[in-house]
Amino acid sequence: MLTAALMVGVWWYFKLKGRLLARAYSYLVLQKRPGSTMESSNWMALSIDMYAANQVRQATKEHVDVVFNGSRQALIAEARAQGFRG
């Protein structure tokens, strides 16, 4: 029983990390739109749920691989440096 609970906890942790990555990626994309503000970009990025994070997973992975040499933490750090509050 404890092992099952631990496995579910690990699964949930990685799902949350994936959602954070998708939110950071979305924030960076939203910041490039004309007329966008930090507030509006944060609001839209933070509204991403697990389903929406799954929808942008492939685009996020490609962006991380090409721009950040596969470093997910670098993408999140870049988004936070530009005002992401996730």
Q: How does pLDDT run across 5-64, given as a tens digit for each residue?
A: 767 776 666 667 889 999 999 999 999 999 999 999 999 999 988 888 889 999 999 999
Query: 81: helix, coil or strand?
Result: helix
Q: How far is CA 36 from each of CA 24, 46, 78, rounded to the nearest angstrom?
A: 15, 15, 17
Q: Cα separation of 15 and 50, whole Å?
A: 8
Hey, what are 28's tokens? 């960076």
* Residue 86 confidence (pLDDT) above 70: yes
> What pLDDT, on a 0 to 100 scale, did the predictor assign at position 14?
64
pLDDT value at residue 8: 74
- Return the axis-axis angle of helices 2-31 and 72-81, rounded to nearest 10°: 50
